[in-house]
Amino acid sequence: MSYLGLVGLFGLIGLTGLLNKVHPSQSGGPIRLLGLLGFLGLVGFWIPPLGACGAFGALGVWNHQNTSIARLSYVGWLGFIGVVQTISFYL
């Protein structure tokens, strides 16, 4: 159960999409705001299942112009582990 808090830190990858700006004509500007969900991963130090949901923050770079950054978005799907664990934790 302790690994779940660390999974949420993958969401901080989404902040690279906010730091490395893309051309304004690139679509998906609002989706890059998902990178802010990466801060939810910091909650994982106290509530591990909820912190794992922070991995969704990595999905904010799915259509980044830099392909090496865009490939990092696939770890964002680990957030579903956090959703399932959060539901089972609170039930």
Interval 30-78: pLDDT, tens: 777 778 888 888 888 888 888 888 888 888 888 888 888 889 889 989 8
* pTM of the predicted structure, to 2 decimals: 0.78
How far is it, in rounded angstroms, from Cα 38 to Cα 43? Answer: 10
Q: Count CA atoms within 13 Å of residue 75 on its CB side.
A: 20
Q: What is the pLDDT of residues 4-42, one digit of tens each?
A: 778 888 888 888 877 877 777 777 777 777 788 888 888
**CB neighbours (10 Å) of residue 38?**
27
- For the record, the structure tokens of 86 come out as 């959060």
- For the record, the structure tokens of 8 come out as 């949420």
Domain count, the chain: 1
Compute the radius of gyration of the chain from its Cα atoms: 13
Residue 83 domain boundaries: 3-90
How far is it, in rounded angstroms, from Cα 43 to Cα 73? Answer: 20
